[in-house]
Chain A
Amino acid sequence: MTWKAEVDGGRCMASGMCAGIAPDLFVLDDERARPLSEEVPEEERVLDVADSCPAMAITIVDGGATVVGPRP
Chain B
Amino acid sequence: MTTAETTPIAYPFNDPEGLDLSGAYEEARHRPGLVRVRLRYGEPAWLATRYADARLVLGDRRFSRAEALNRDTPRQGEGQMDGGILSMDPPDHTRLRTLVAKAFTVHQVEKLRPYVRELTHSLLDELEAAGPPADLVDRYALPIPVAVICRLLGVPEEDRPKFRVWSDAALSTSSLTAAEWERNREELRAYMARLVQEHREAPRDDIMTSLIEARDQGDRLSELELVDLCVGILVAGHETTATQIPNFVMVLLDHPDELRRLREEPELIKGSVEELMRFVPLGVGASQARYATEDIEVGGTLVRAGEPVLVAVGSANRDALRFDEPGRLNVARPATQHLGFGHGVHHCLGAPLARLELQEALGALIGRFPNLHLAGDVVWKDQMLVRGPRVMPVGW
Contact status A54-B94, CB under 8 Å? no
Interface residues of A, dominant DSSP: loop
Contact status B337-A14, CB under 8 Å? yes
Closest B residue to A57 by CB, please name it.
Answer: B106
**Does B371 touch A at the CB level, under 8 Å?**
no
Contact status A54-B344, CB under 8 Å? no
Contact status B98-A52, CB under 8 Å? yes
Count of B interface residues, CB-CB < 8 Å: 24
User: In chain A between 17 and 42, which residues have their CB closer than 8 angstroms to a CB of chain B?
Assistant: 17, 19-21, 23, 28, 31
Contact status A17-B345, CB under 8 Å? yes
Closest B residue to A20 by CB, please name it.
Answer: B345
Contact among A14, A15, A20 with B90 in the assembled complex (CB-CB below 8 Å): A20
Given A15-B343, A20-B90, A21-B345, does the pair A54, B106 have CB atoms closer than 8 Å?
yes
Contact among A11, A20, A48, A53 with B59 in the assembled complex (CB-CB below 8 Å): A20
With A and B bound together, what is the CA distance between A13 and B335 in angstroms?
10
Contact status B105-A31, CB under 8 Å? no
* B residues at A contact (CB < 8 Å): 55, 58-59, 61, 90-91, 94, 97-98, 101-102, 104-107, 337, 341, 343-345, 347, 349, 351-352
| Interchain residue pairs with CB less than 8 A apart (17) | A14-B337, A15-B343, A15-B344, A15-B347, A16-B343, A16-B344, A16-B347, A21-B94, A51-B101, A51-B102, A52-B94, A52-B101, A53-B105, A54-B106, A54-B347, A54-B349, A56-B105
**Does A68 touch B at the CB level, under 8 Å?**
no
What residues on B are CB-neighbors of A31 within 8 Å? 337
Contact among A11, A17, A48, A71 with B347 in the assembled complex (CB-CB below 8 Å): A17
What residues on B are CB-neighbors of A16 within 8 Å? 55, 58-59, 343-345, 347
Contact status A45-B337, CB under 8 Å? no
Interface residues of B, dominant DSSP: helix
With A and B bound together, what is the CA distance between A11 and B98 in angstroms?
19
With A and B bound together, what is the CA distance between A17 and B337 in angstroms?
14
Closest A residue to B342 by CB, please name it.
Answer: A15
Taking each of B55, B58, B345, which has the highest tally of chain A beta carbons within 10 Å of its own beta carbon? B345
Contact among B58, B59, B106, B337 with A55 in the assembled complex (CB-CB below 8 Å): B106
With A and B bound together, what is the CA distance between A61 and B337 in angstroms?
28
Contact status A17-B105, CB under 8 Å? no
Contact status B337-A20, CB under 8 Å? no
CB distance from B284 to the nearest CB of A (A): 24
A-B contact count, CB below 8 Å? Answer: 61
The 6 A-B residue pairs whose C-beta atoms are closest, nearest first, are: A20-B345, A15-B347, A16-B344, A16-B59, A52-B101, A20-B344
Counting contact residues on chain A (CB < 8 A from B), the size range is 20 to 34
Contact status A54-B104, CB under 8 Å? yes
What residues on A are CB-neighbors of B59 within 8 Å? 16, 19-20, 28
CB distance from A50 to the nearest CB of B (A): 10
Contact status B344-A17, CB under 8 Å? yes
What residues on A are CB-neighbors of B349 within 8 Å? 54
What residues on B are CB-neighbors of A56 within 8 Å? 105-107
CB distance from B347 to the nearest CB of A (A): 4
What residues on A are CB-neighbors of B347 within 8 Å? 15-17, 54
With A and B bound together, what is the CA distance between A14 and B342 in angstroms?
11
CB distance from A27 to the nearest CB of B (A): 10
Contact status B343-A45, CB under 8 Å? no
What residues on A are CB-neighbors of B55 within 8 Å? 16
Closest A residue to B99 by CB, please name it.
Answer: A51
With A and B bound together, what is the CA distance between A53 and B97 in angstroms?
11
Question: 13 additional contacts, CB 8 Å, given A17-B345, A51-B102, A54-B347?
Answer: A14-B337, A15-B343, A15-B344, A16-B55, A21-B345, A45-B94, A52-B94, A52-B98, A52-B101, A54-B106, A54-B349, A56-B105, A70-B105
With A and B bound together, what is the CA distance between A31 and B102 in angstroms?
23
Taking each of B90, B91, B98, B344, which has the highest tally of chain A beta carbons within 10 Å of its own beta carbon? B98
CB distance from B66 to the nearest CB of A (A): 13
With A and B bound together, what is the CA distance between A48 and B337 in angstroms?
23
With A and B bound together, what is the CA distance between A28 and B52 in angstroms?
13
